[in-house]
């Protein structure tokens, strides 16, 4: 039975088909000790074409390959197939379905990952936009604050410079006023000394005039018995005294006039 199935598979394989042959070992015949059993376990299984592997499970199950149709025809002509041959014939379909399911799962996983990546990229774009907006707002606020404080600093600096200039001018004016006060004080002291000197001179002159009056009154008494020589000497002394007094007073008056002119010129 096994030899006839091998012959049928060999005839199918040599029939000019270029389908890829997949050699597998049946699970039920792996412990066979006879050579015919080993040959049966190494039976040739016709693998589905690449399109059948990549296609959906419905297409692979609904449209069997030409080799499967040929093997099925030989099996129906020669008799009923064994369970091992059924398992061998169903193995490619199961592998194809598993591959298709794995491919579909991988595709679904990739789609989910792509969708999640797109969502994350969209969220990242929104966050970048918000961050850029906040950054622009902060930059604008910083520039406005810097401009405000710069203008404030400039205004305060100008006010400080004006105040400092006014203070310097006031200090210079104060120095000038203090110098003028010192000059006036020194002039006042000088004038006080001059007034004291004038008072002393006036007292001296009054004393001299009083002495002259007394001398004249004593020298011109009618009841006195004085000779002409004594009277002449007295008049001579009186003339000399008047002459000396006039000279001294004239010089003093001239000096006082010169000093007054000099004070006037100094005051102007």
pLDDT of residue 218: 74
For each successive 10 residues of the chain (268 residues), what is the average pLDDT?
A: 46 42 42 42 47 43 51 48 56 79 90 93 94 94 94 95 95 94 91 91 87 76 61 82 82 75 68
b/e sequence 147-186, b meaning 16+ C-beta within 10 Å: eeeeeeeeeeeeeeeeeeeeeeeeeeeeeeeeeeeeeeee
pLDDT on residue 1: 43
As a whole number of angstroms, the distance between CA 134 and CA 148 comes to: 21
What is the pLDDT, as a whole number, of residue 5? 46
The DSSP string of 10-73 is HHHHTSS--PPEEE---GGGTT--SHHHHHHHT-EEEPPPHHHHHS-HHHHHHS--HHHHHHHH
Cα 94–chain centre separation? 69
pLDDT at 112: 92
- The b-or-e profile of 212-227 (16+ CB within 10 A means b, else e) is eeeeeeebeeeeeeee
Quick one: how many helices (H) and strands (E) in the chain? 7, 2
- Identify the pLDDT of residue 155: 94
pTM: 0.32
pLDDT of residue 28: 41
What is the spatial distance between Cα 184 and Cα 36, in angstroms, rounded to a whole number? 151
- Write down the pLDDT at residue 214: 79
């Amino acid at each position: 039975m096994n030899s006839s199935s091998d012959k049928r598979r060999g005839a199918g394989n040599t029939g000019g088909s270029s389908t890829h042959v997949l050699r597998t070992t049946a699970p039920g015949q792996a412990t066979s000790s006879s050579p015919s059993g080993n040959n049966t376990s190494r039976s040739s299984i016709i693998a589905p074409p690449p399109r059948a592997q990549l296609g959906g499970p419905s297409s692979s199950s609904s449209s069997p390959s030409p080799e499967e149709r040929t093997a099925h025809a030989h099996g129906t002509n020669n008799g009923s197939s064994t369970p091992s041959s059924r398992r061998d014939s169903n193995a490619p379909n199961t592998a194809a379905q598993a591959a298709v399911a794995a491919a579909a799962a991988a595709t679904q996983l990739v789609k989910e990952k792509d969708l999640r990546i797109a969502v994350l990229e969209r969220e990242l774009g929104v966050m970048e936009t918000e961050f850029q907006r906040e950054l622009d707002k902060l930059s604008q606020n910083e520039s406005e604050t810097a401009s405000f404080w710069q203008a404030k600093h400039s205004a305060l600096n100008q006010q400080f410079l004006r105040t400092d200039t006014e203070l310097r001018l006031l200090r210079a004016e104060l120095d000038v006023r203090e110098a003028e006060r010192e000059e006036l004080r020194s002039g006042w002291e000088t004038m006080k000394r001059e007034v004291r000197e004038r008072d002393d001179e006036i007292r001296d002159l009054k004393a001299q005039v009083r002495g002259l009056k007394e001398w004249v009154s004593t020298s011109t008494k009618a009841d006195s018995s004085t000779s002409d020589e004594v009277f002449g000497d007295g008049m001579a002394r009186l003339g000399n005294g008047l002459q000396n007094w006039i000279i001294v007073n004239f010089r003093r008056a001239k000096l006082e006039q010169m000093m007054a002119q000099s004070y006037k010129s100094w005051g102007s």
